Amino acid sequence: MSIDGQAVGVRVSKQLGVNSSKINREIDELNFYTTQKVMFSDVSSPSAAIYGNENVPSITIEQQKAVEMLCQLERAEEEKENIRTEIGKFSTNITKQSQEIVTEIKQLTLNRDRFSKGKIMYLYSPTIH
């Protein structure tokens, strides 16, 4: 298997472009919430001053766990809402299907032919079709 240097370069260039765009979006969001503005050049190099600041406060393991638990709580609330929505959709669908079956049975009872009787038996059947 040969590796084409130009193809690798194109791929790396695309990845850099995507990552640069993500970083710029994060910088824009950060700048929205802070008064001290950050530029792309401030964060684009591992040797940038922002990474060498040893005065950056670190958080304890307990604080990390608290943040994780908060995220899990928020996710649980989101899931609860999703489940409520799905239950509502399911209930609506079951009601609609039941109404369609009842309407079909009423129509079939008007007909006394063999096909209609067989279809009624099928619709009343407890097995899933």
- pLDDT by position in tens, the chain (length 129): 456 778 888 888 889 888 888 988 988 888 887 787 888 887 777 777 766 665 556 778 898 899 999 999 999 999 999 999 999 999 999 999 999 888 887 877 777 788 877 877 787 776 655
Asked whether the whole model's pTM tops 0.85, one would answer: no
Burial class (CB in 10 A: 0-12, 13-18, 19+), 126: exposed
Radius of gyration of the chain (CA): 31
Contact 27, 40 (CB under 8 A): yes
Interatomic CA distance for residues 14 and 18, integer angstroms = 6
Interatomic CA distance for residues 47 and 41, integer angstroms = 11
Residue 126 confidence (pLDDT): 66
Phi, psi dihedrals of residue 109, rounded to the nearest 5°? -70, -20
Residue 3 confidence (pLDDT): 66
Q: Where are the alpha helices (DSSP H) in 1-129?
A: 5-33, 40-43, 49-52, 61-110, 114-124
Residue 54 confidence (pLDDT): 57
> What are the sequence ranges of the domains in the chain?
1-56
Phi, psi dihedrals of residue 55, rounded to the nearest 5°? -90, 5
